Amino acid sequence: MNGGNSRTAIDRPPRIALLIDADNSPAAKIDHILNELSTFGETSIRRAYGNWKKQGLRGWEEVLHEHAIRPMQQFDYSKGKNASDMAMVIDALDILYSDRPEAFGIVSSDADFTPLVMYLRAKGTAVYGFGEQKTPEPFVNACSRFLFLDKLGVDAAGGSTDGDGGRDDGAAAPLRIPTAKLKQDAKLVTLLRNAVEAAKGENGWARVGAVGQQINNQASFDPRNYGYATITKLLKATELFQLDKEGTSEVSVRDIRQARSAPKG
């Protein structure tokens, strides 16, 4: 859909439209949200939706001006119904066709936005979702990438890369899911093993960056949702994989079940 929006990399970074369901999102995490989106492009449109007469939105009022977020007032026309959701959907479609951003950031824990996310992605835009752990799985899976806000902890000192396209920038969860529990997560184990298998070369090893790309092509995935800053750290924590050249840009991985039979590259 962005065919008429052709540009070279030197013209400008990708534009992102950030739409916040303030009724269902924590204001305290806005710094993390904007920091995360800054790695994908420029968040040129920033809007937060809600009935600003409500006491429950006072936390958001304090950060709107600081972060140049435009408050979008929406009265509750019907008791028990959230008119803000409808206003946010209408605006998203208007922005899609009038401003044509390369991506959207959707902040909400409400599964009602799943059809919107699916529509935006079908039109060629990436959608980065942010919400709480309670966010329903259909909404999480519909996004290009989804980050659980309650998994974001206090920044740690320093940062590094692990050659997997991810960042170890201190934004990891304060509590990591232990190895035993990771191994019991059949869905996660299958996802990781299938991605490693699909990305491996003739020598049986797969570049971690290629593994991450395989995963992102089939699922909304972020290792920080498990408490690990990068996919390399998550792979290691499962104890189901063997790593080679760890700590370098050429870090590779293979299923530990193949470690004895497969040649080392």
What is the pairing mode between strands 206-207 and 252-255? antiparallel
Q: Is residue 79, in this structure, part of any structural domain at all?
A: yes
Q: Is residue 110, in this structure, part of any structural domain at all?
A: yes
Residue 7 pLDDT: 47
**E strand or H helix that includes residue 191:** helix 186-199
Residue 43 pLDDT: 95
Let me know whether 118 and 187 are in one domain: no
Let me know whether 142 and 212 are in one domain: no
Q: Round the CA-based radius of gyration of the chain to a whole number and report it.
A: 20
Residue 140 pLDDT: 92
Residue 32 pLDDT: 87
Cβ-based burial of 104 (10 A; exposed 0-12, middle 13-18, buried ≥19):
buried
Residue 76 pLDDT: 66
| CATH code assigned at 246 | 3.30.420.610
Let me know whether 187 and 130 are in one domain: no
Let me know whether 125 and 229 are in one domain: no
Between CA 261 and CA 258 the distance in angstroms is 5
Q: Is residue 162, in this structure, part of any structural domain at all?
A: no
Which of the listed residues 132, 151, 170 is the one where a domain comes to its end?
Answer: 151
Let me know whether 125 and 44 are in one domain: yes
Between CA 104 and CA 144 the distance in angstroms is 10
Let me know whether 29 and 130 are in one domain: yes
Q: Is residue 246, in this structure, part of any structural domain at all?
A: yes
What is the pairing mode between strands 103-107 and 241-244? unpaired
Question: For the packed helices 83-98 and 114-122, what is the interaxial angle rounded to 10 degrees?
Answer: 10
| Structural domain containing residue 208 | 179-258
Let me know whether 29 and 127 are in one domain: yes
Domain count, the chain: 2
**C-alpha distance from residue 212 to each of 126, 198, 231 (Å):** 17, 11, 7
How many CB atoms lie under 10 A from the CB of residue 234?
Answer: 25
Query: Are the C-beta atoms of residues 252 and 245 closer than 8 Å to each other?
Result: yes
Let me know whether 241 and 127 are in one domain: no
Residue 61 pLDDT: 81
Let me know whether 110 and 228 are in one domain: no
Q: Is residue 76, in this structure, part of any structural domain at all?
A: yes
pTM (2 decimals)? 0.68
Let me know whether 146 and 105 are in one domain: yes
CA atoms in the 13 A half-sphere facing the CB of 168: 15
Let me know whether 232 and 137 are in one domain: no
Mean pLDDT per 10-residue run, the chain (265 residues)? 48 91 88 89 94 84 89 70 82 96 95 95 95 91 90 45 48 69 88 88 88 78 84 90 86 83 53
Let me know whether 145 and 226 are in one domain: no
What is the pairing mode between strands 145-148 and 126-131? parallel
Longest dimension (CA), the chain: 66
| CATH code assigned at 137 | 3.40.50.1010
Q: Is residue 3, in this structure, part of any structural domain at all?
A: no
Which of the listed residues 102, 132, 151 is the one where a domain comes to its end?
Answer: 151
For the chain, the first-to-last Cα distance in angstroms comes to 42
Q: Is residue 173, in this structure, part of any structural domain at all?
A: no
Q: Is residue 158, in this structure, part of any structural domain at all?
A: no
